[in-house]
Amino acid sequence: MGFDFGVAQPVRLTKVSPARLATFDDCPRRYRLAYLERPTPQRTGPWAHSTLGAVVHNALRALFDLPVLKRVPQRAVALVAEFWKDAGFESEEQAARYRARAKGWVAEYVEDNDVTHDPVGLERWVSAPVSPSPGEKPSMIIEGRADRIDARDGALVIVDYKTGRRPPDEYEARASQALALYAVAAARTLRMPCTTVELHHLPTGTIAAAEHTPESLQRQLQRAGETASDLRLATDTLDAGGDGDELFPPRPDRRCAWCDFRPSCKAGQEAAPQMQPWDLLAP
């Protein structure tokens, strides 16, 4: 009847993770194929660089689960062997070569870094309602798993392991939306300040650290909010009967060469020649 009783409608919270936001930003079609279509469309097989990264992550997680006196290079090497898989490698010889490299990386990491502290979280799930704009009610729930969360001098530090071809730098650490969002969510989940983020590159032993300010974290939240708004609108319109190809268009570029959903995306197949599963390994 048109009556307005002045009751504000509840704000709808959109659950997002750094991985989902990055996928939608990079290629809306890949987002639809990965998160919305069921059954999931055909994907490529495993990639060797992903296998390698998962092994190193699992080995370091397991290492920090051990008592301090057992966190030694020899145990780290044994954990690599325990978690090792050959998926995606060109041959047994290539897999063996990178298995030996991974053992060397984690052994050097243990030797060169202080591993005697107990992290606050290992693969810790963090989740928190946030607002893209100061003073507004939360409109998103940021959630995800951080590789490692340390407590140092009364504050939290987000640690992310890297095994890629190129060592990261401070700019990359500061620009990482994922690290910034984990910092915000960790601070609110664990009720401790968190402004420091670090990228630990195992192949070179490089640690790229960045210190966020409230302003830089707010910029990342605003950027995430804009993506989340676009994502929510596209998803709601699709659910209402909208055209998926128009709402989630492809963004063809060189990354199509190693996209998991290449077999299910003609635009990606035409954008770049397909890479071999081992082509993205660090040389």
Q: Which residues pair with 158 in a beta bridge?
A: 149, 197
Domains of the chain, residue spans: 48-112, 121-223
Peptide bond into 277 cis (omega under 30): no
Burial, 79: exposed, middle or buried (Cβ in 10 Å; 0-12, 13-18, 19+)? Answer: buried
Q: Which pair of structure tokens corresponds to residue 261?
A: 């959903």
Per-residue pLDDT of the chain (283 residues; tens, 9 = 90+): 444 545 555 567 889 999 999 999 999 999 999 999 999 999 999 999 999 999 999 999 999 999 999 999 999 999 999 999 999 999 999 999 999 999 999 999 999 999 999 999 999 999 999 988 888 889 899 999 999 999 999 999 999 999 999 999 999 999 999 999 999 999 999 999 999 999 999 999 999 999 999 999 999 999 999 999 999 999 999 999 999 999 999 999 999 999 999 999 999 999 999 999 999 998 8
* pTM of this structure: 0.92
Architecture, CATH, for domain 121-223: Alpha-Beta Complex (3.90)
CB atoms within 10 A of CB 175: 14
How far is it, in rounded angstroms, from Cα 19 to Cα 128?
16
